[in-house]
Amino acid sequence: MLLSCLPYSDISFYSLQGVLLGYSEIKKQPHGALLADSPFVHIDVTAKFFVFKPVVGACLSVSVIKKSSGHLGALLNDIFNVSVICSSSAKDRIQLGDNILITVVSAGARYNLSSAT
């Protein structure tokens, strides 16, 4: 039931400073409330949230899945897309499928909202 409510909540990469992976031990208040003109019932809940929160400076192992002239594309834990900037000489030594160690210099989320015309 909570999953159907999440898209309407304030849970986002920016409010959590990470990516919500899951939750457990959900507890809700016994009564809900109507807020302003919203047709939705607001119910406060508490839970344990599992968040992937990369820390700047952390060393992570990633798998290279793409090579281009400007960067390497890699996957962290087969889930998270990582863009790796490195020198041309380092890029020449790295092959697709290689596992490499990277240092996190920034983290963020980008939502691709495109429309067909």
CB contact set of 11 (below 8 Å; sequence gap of 6+): 20
Q: Is 96's pLDDT higher than 90?
A: yes
In the predicted model, what is the mean pLDDT of residues 37-58? Answer: 84
Instruction: Assess whether pLDDT exceeds 80 at residue 16.
Output: no
- Residue 111 clears pLDDT 60, i.e. is over it: no
Whole-prediction pTM = 0.62
Q: What is the predicted pLDDT for the residue at 97?
A: 94
DSSP secondary structure letters along 12-34: -HHHHTSEEEEEEEEEE-S--EE
Of the chain, the percentage scoring pLDDT greater than 70 comes to 79
Whether 75 shows a pLDDT value over 90: the answer reads yes
CA dihedral 39, 40, 42, 47 (to 10 degrees): -170
